[in-house]
Amino acid sequence: MADEVLALRPNDLIVFIDETGIEDFSDPNNPTFGRGGCATLNGDYKKLIKKPWRKLKREKLGGAMKPFHAVDFGQSQPTKAQITGINRFLKRPFWRFAAMSDSRTELPPGIDGHKAISLVTISFIKRLVRTYSDLTTVALVFEASERGNELVQRDFDLASLNLVNRSGHSIRVEGCFMDKKNMEAGLEVADLIIHTAGRQRRHQIAGGKGVVKDFEQTYWHSPIPPAFMSIGTMKLNELALDNQNDQTAKN
C-alpha cells in the first residue's frame, strides 16, 4: 500500500475504511475495537458522497474546508438542523458497513483483536464484490495512522485476498493510506459510520436495550442493505479457516 491517491476508472469499486477504539481493548472507557466505512462505484462517488457531503459541511457543519471528526461533532451539542442534515445525507444509496468487537470477545489462538476485525471486514468485502457481475477492480482506502498502518499491512495482504465477482472472475485489488487532514469525503463519512457503530457497541456493553438514535439513522434507514457485524469465537474460527483456504488456493 502507498500514501497516494489511486487512479480509478468509473466502474471500479472504492471502499473507504476507518477504525474506532484500540485493538487490544486497553482503554477502560472504550473497551472496543472495530472497522467500518462506506463504498460505491467510483463513477458514482462524487454524486452520491463527495459533492453532497461537501454541501452539507458548507451549509450545516461549519464550512467545506473544516475537518469533520465524528467524536468532536458528537461532543459539540449539535443542533437540530445539523442532525437533520446528516440524517438526510445518510438516506443516500451507498454501501455502509461496520465490524465491532470488545473486551468480552473470545479470540481463537493466534488471532489478536486487529486480525479478528480484519477477517470480518475482508469477509464483508468478499460478499460485496460478489454483488457485481462486471467488476474488475476494488480499491481499499484506509485512514492513515502511525499506530495502525503496520497492522493494516499485516492483515490486509492485497495479493492474497482472492476476490471474485458474481461472474466468477478475479478482482484486482489496490490499496492506499490517506491522511484525514486531506478531508476526503469518503473517509469523513467512514469516520461517522464507524463512530456510530462504536457508540452502539458501548451502549450494548453498558446493558442498554435496542439501538441508539444515530445508529438507527445510519444503518436502519439506509436505502440499500447495510452490514453491522459483531463477532464471536465460532465465526472467527470459520473466517480464519476460509482465509487460510483462500491463500492456499491463491498459491
What are 221-237's pLDDT values in tens digits?
A: 676 666 665 554 435 45
Structural domain count of the chain: 1
Q: Which of 98, 8, 83 is nearest to 45 (CA)?
A: 8
Q: Which of 152, 203, 150 is nearest to 32 (CA)?
A: 203
197 occurs within a structural domain: yes
120 occurs within a structural domain: yes
8-state DSSP, 70:
H
Query: Which tens digit of pLDDT belongs to each residue from 174-233?
Result: 999 999 899 999 999 999 999 988 888 888 888 888 877 877 777 766 766 666 655 544
188 occurs within a structural domain: yes
- Per the listing, cell 454483488 goes with 131
Query: Which tens digit of pLDDT belongs to each residue from 86-120?
Result: 999 999 999 999 888 888 888 888 889 999 999 88
Query: Which tens digit of pLDDT belongs to each residue from 55-66?
Result: 999 999 999 999
Q: What is the CATH number of the domain that holds 33?
A: 3.30.420.10
Q: Which of 161, 115, 230, 116 is nearest to 13 (CA)?
A: 161
- The alpha carbon of residue 12 and the mean position of all alpha carbons in its chain are separated, in whole angstroms, by 17
Domain of residue 79 covers: 13-250
Rounded Cα distance, 112 and 101, in Å: 11
- Considering the chain, what is the average pLDDT of its residues? 86
3 occurs within a structural domain: no
If residue 193 lies in a helix (H) or strand (E), which one and from where to where?
Answer: helix 185-205
DSSP-assigned beta bridge partners for residue 227: 97
Rounded Cα distance, 115 and 129, in Å: 21
Q: Which of 214, 185, 193, 209 is nearest to 45 (CA)?
A: 185
234 occurs within a structural domain: yes
Could you tell me which residue, 229 or 11, shows the higher pLDDT?
A: 11
Judge contact between 109 and 127, C-beta under 8 A.
no
Backbone angles phi, psi at 157, to 5 degrees: -80, 100
Rounded Cα distance, 137 and 7, in Å: 11
Grid coordinates of 146: 502511525
75 occurs within a structural domain: yes
Ramachandran bin of 235, using left for φ above 0, alpha for ψ from -120 to 50, beta for the remaining angles: alpha
- C-alpha to C-alpha distances, 40 to 12, 15, 43, 126, 247, nearest whole angstrom: 9, 7, 8, 14, 26
Q: Which of 229, 226, 243, 97 is nearest to 156 (CA)?
A: 243
Rounded Cα distance, 151 and 159, in Å: 16
For residues 115, 106, 31, 231, the Cα torsion angle rounded to the nearest 10 degrees is 70
167 occurs within a structural domain: yes
8 occurs within a structural domain: no
